[in-house]
Amino acid sequence: MKYKPFFLVTDRKFEEIIANIFPIYEKIELQPLTKAESYSLIQKLIEINLDDDDITFIIEQSHGNPFFIEEFAKFINIEGEFKKVPSSIQTIILSHIDRLPENLKQLLQKASVIGSTFSIEELSYIHKKTGGDISNLDIDINKLISENIIERTGKQFKFRQEITREVVYSTILKENKMVLHKLIALFFIKIKRKEPLKIIYHLLEAQDIYKAYKMLNEVTNYTMDYVPYLDKLLSALNPKEADKIIEILFIKYSILYNNGFIDKIPQVISQMGEEVFSLNNNKAYAMFYHLLATYNYEHFDYFNAELFGRKGLYYYEKLEDTDKSKIYSYYNLLRFTAIALFYKRNIDGAKKLLEKLPTKSIEYNYLNCIINFYTSNYEKSIDFLEKEKEKIKNSDITDDFSINLYLLELISFYYELGAFDLLYDTCNLFLQKAIPTYKQYSRIYSYLGIASFYLGKHQEAFDYLRKAEYNTKQLNNDYYKARVQAFIAEAYYLSGNIEKAYDYAFDALKITNINSDHVTSCEVLLLLVLISLQKNDTEKAKFFLYEIKMYENSSIILEFKYKPLIYYLRYKLDETIDTETKINLLKEASKIIKNNLSKINSNKLKTSYLKIRFHDKILEEAKKFDIKA
């Protein structure tokens, strides 16, 4: 029998975030102990004789919670007699804490400030700094363990119950809490600099807002974990400090954008817009237009992406070169603006922006590869990226930014050329070397799924596609949802499950029609044409083909990827054109394929390119008419 791994998540209440992280879950609500079970547990734990009324009182007050019964029992056993037991579990826990020797109580309070878990080093540091005696720290910790308040977990310790930590924490005066949080932050700054999240949390709790702000600006790799702290910082900053508020909103936007949470971005845009125009500040304008450019880029609005990109670049160029944040942000916006121009077919405009980048910069190399590849200089792009891939494999390149740009683009190029074995290996290298977001997992698992299918690993293909679908659900991002749906539809089509292929493709089409993703729309429509032909539904195939004609010249990527196939299908199905026009379309399709093949030196890549999108069949069909192209 095979066992599948699973996560067991326990909490006092069900949080909606669990459903977001684990879309497929089984919720098990532990029912309270019955009266009989509660009665039996009380009899076992309480060391004095109680009458039925006393036991009934405990059962009613504990609500069948075994931890509460345990605390009631401790309280009664210590008292040695039944008294009117406090009705609040917090009060009972507090009475337990109050009975501890003063040195243990103080130690426990300091531990509660560190968090639910803590190390001996952390506790020792804060205890010593606040005048505590650390000579018997091991003995004191063991006493707290024997009191069932804390427990050992590997090299660390934790409170047995979070409610206990909360009660202990609530006994500390506000001013003392701030002092303790500040000390813990200093400990992490000096000893554990690599834990910025903890430092920022403790600085915010210490109300040292400006150190927290400075620390946030020093972070180089933001994750979604930072968002709650950014929100807390935004609420703590003085409303008059619009420049700082804008910088924090820009960081928040970057995190949401990079992780694919596009649906959460409009609120950030609105907040930032309210602040920006109250300032006469070039940096604020640059960041705001940067945000608008990338947001429009993500929504395939390349006109506005270019417009706002150029505005942002103008204001970045007005900043002093001493502004350290200028260079990275400026290069980043140059990259997005140039790609928007390129997708609008303004190749010369894209190249002019490329010239503004240092020739050895990552952004320059990345842009140059895209322009070369989609203007048919495949080998130059592939060759460069494969050299970078080797450096990544050998750990000569380790920064996440380079790994993401180079490997993801190489994966995309392999997909366009049908080099599925190389794509498969590169995807696995990416998973080894990068720290993927949901957005990247969605993309990589999609590619792995379709590559696995072409490599004959059918079960593995669907496993990967299910993972892609799962990661997409975390994003609430229609673009990635549509892309994954399209990949799954293609896999079902290739496996012969035409009905499922049609369902997934049609769902993807509905999404792409709403969000104006021309490339995915065209891909899905082409698939629907092929599926309809498999179902012998020629009329529907013609309908979908007519829809494709509307997208035919809307993107340079579409032209590169699908023009031969679109011409071939029109040659086969389009009844609105005469025979001569049909043959001319076939001639043009054959010419494009042969032209592209002439620019590929690798025999392996040539073979791959011929096998995808019916390229080999198109050339074969063209021979029937003795077409020379």
If pLDDT is split at 50, 70 and 90, which confidence band does 18 have? low
Give domain status of residue 372, yes or no: no
181-197 pLDDT, tens digit per residue, is 999 999 998 886 678 88
Does pTM top 0.75 for this prediction? Answer: yes
Query: What distance in Å separates the CA atoms of residue 221 and residue 228, rounded to the nearest whole number?
Result: 16
For the chain, the straight-line distance linking the first and the last C-alpha, in angstroms and rounded, comes to 59
CB atoms within 10 A of CB 239: 8
Which has the higher per-residue pLDDT, 13 or 120? 120
| Mean pLDDT, residues 517-542 | 87
Q: Are residues 127 and 86 in the same domain?
A: no
Q: Are residues 229 and 340 in the same domain?
A: yes
Instruction: Give yes or no for residue 179 having a pLDDT over 50.
Output: yes
Q: Are residues 230 and 280 in the same domain?
A: yes
| Mean pLDDT, residues 587-596 | 89
If pLDDT is split at 50, 70 and 90, which confidence band does 19 have? low
Q: Which of 341, 357, 373 is the last residue of a domain?
A: 357
Tell me if 226 sits within 8 A of 216, measured CB to CB.
yes
Q: What is the DSSP string of 103-143?
A: HHHHHHHHHHHH-SEEEHHHHHHHHHHTT---TTHHHHHHH
Instruction: Give yes or no for residue 344 having a pLDDT over 80.
Output: yes
Give domain status of residue 468, yes or no: no
Q: Are residues 43 and 152 in the same domain?
A: no
458-468 pLDDT, tens digit per residue, is 889 888 988 88
- pLDDT of amino acid 139: 93
Q: What is the mean pLDDT of the chain?
A: 86
Query: Considering Cα of 513, then 514, then 518, then 523, what sign does the dihedral take?
Result: negative
Domain of residue 47: give its range: 35-95
Give domain status of residue 67, yes or no: yes
Task: Supply the Cα-derived Rg of the chain in whole angstroms.
Answer: 31
Q: Are residues 91 and 104 in the same domain?
A: no
C-alpha dist (Å) from residue 343 to 260, 429, 469, 477, 558: 21, 28, 27, 21, 10
CA angle 16, 20, 25 (to 5 degrees): 90
- pLDDT of amino acid 432: 93
Give domain status of residue 41, yes or no: yes
Instruction: Give yes or no for residue 297 having a pLDDT over 70.
Output: yes
Provide the residue count of the chain: 629
Q: Which helix or strand (DSSP H or E) is residue 69 part of?
A: helix 66-79
Q: What is the DSSP string of 515-574?
A: HT-HHHHHHHHHHHHHHHHHTT-HHHHHHHHHHHHHHTTS-HHHHHHHHHHHHHHHHHH-
Query: What distance in Å separates the CA atoms of residue 118 and residue 156, rounded to the nearest whole number?
Result: 6
Q: Which of 111, 139, 172 is the last residue of a domain?
A: 172
| Mean pLDDT, residues 298-325 | 85
Q: What is the DSSP string of 203-265?
A: HHHTT-HHHHHHHHHH-SS--GGGHHHHHHHHHHS-TT-HHHHHHHHHHHHHHHHHTT-GGGH
Q: Are residues 236 and 338 in the same domain?
A: yes
Give domain status of residue 337, yes or no: yes
Main-chain phi, psi angles of 154, to 5 degrees: 65, -125
Instruction: Give yes or no for residue 1 having a pLDDT over 50.
Output: no
- pLDDT of amino acid 93: 85
- pLDDT of amino acid 561: 78
What's the longest Cα–Cα distance across the chain? 106
Q: Which of 47, 75, 95 is the last residue of a domain?
A: 95
| Mean pLDDT, residues 337-363 | 90
- pLDDT of amino acid 87: 65
The share of the chain scoring above pLDDT 70, in percent, equals: 93
Instruction: Give yes or no for residue 2 having a pLDDT over 60.
Output: no
Which has the higher per-residue pLDDT, 424 or 626? 424
- pLDDT of amino acid 195: 83
The owner of tokens 């590559």 is 451
Give domain status of residue 483, yes or no: no
265-280 pLDDT, tens digit per residue, is 889 999 898 888 888 8
Which has the higher per-residue pLDDT, 380 or 479? 380
The share of the chain scoring above pLDDT 90, in percent, equals: 37
Which has the higher per-residue pLDDT, 491 or 174? 174
220-264 pLDDT, tens digit per residue, is 778 888 999 999 999 998 888 888 899 899 999 988 888 778 778
Q: Are residues 148 and 253 in the same domain?
A: no
Q: What is the CATH number of the domain that holds 128?
A: 1.10.10.10
Query: Considering Cα of 509, then 510, then 516, then 517, what sign does the dihedral take?
Result: negative
Orientation angle between helical segments 556-573 and 324-343, nearest 10 degrees = 20
If pLDDT is split at 50, 70 and 90, which confidence band does 626 have? low
- pLDDT of amino acid 190: 85
Give domain status of residue 334, yes or no: yes
Least confident of 48-57, 490-499, 561-570: 48-57
Q: Are residues 242 and 342 in the same domain?
A: yes
Tell me if 137 sits within 8 A of 120, measured CB to CB.
yes
- pLDDT of amino acid 274: 86
Q: Which helix or strand (DSSP H or E) is residue 153 part of?
A: strand 150-153
67-110 pLDDT, tens digit per residue, is 888 888 887 877 777 766 666 778 888 888 888 899 999 999 99
Give domain status of residue 182, yes or no: no
Q: Are residues 250 and 347 in the same domain?
A: yes
| Mean pLDDT, residues 29-48 | 84
Q: Are residues 268 and 294 in the same domain?
A: yes
Tell me if 7 sits within 8 A of 26, measured CB to CB.
no
If pLDDT is split at 50, 70 and 90, which confidence band does 4 have? low
Q: How many domains does the chain have?
A: 3
111-161 pLDDT, tens digit per residue, is 999 999 999 999 999 999 998 888 889 999 999 999 889 999 888 999 988
Q: Are residues 235 and 327 in the same domain?
A: yes
Q: Are residues 248 and 119 in the same domain?
A: no
- pLDDT of amino acid 629: 45
CA angle 23, 258, 446 (to 5 degrees): 55
Q: What is the CATH number of the domain that holds 299?
A: 1.25.40.10
546-570 pLDDT, tens digit per residue, is 888 777 666 677 777 788 888 999 9
Tokens at 222, concatenated: 């933001």
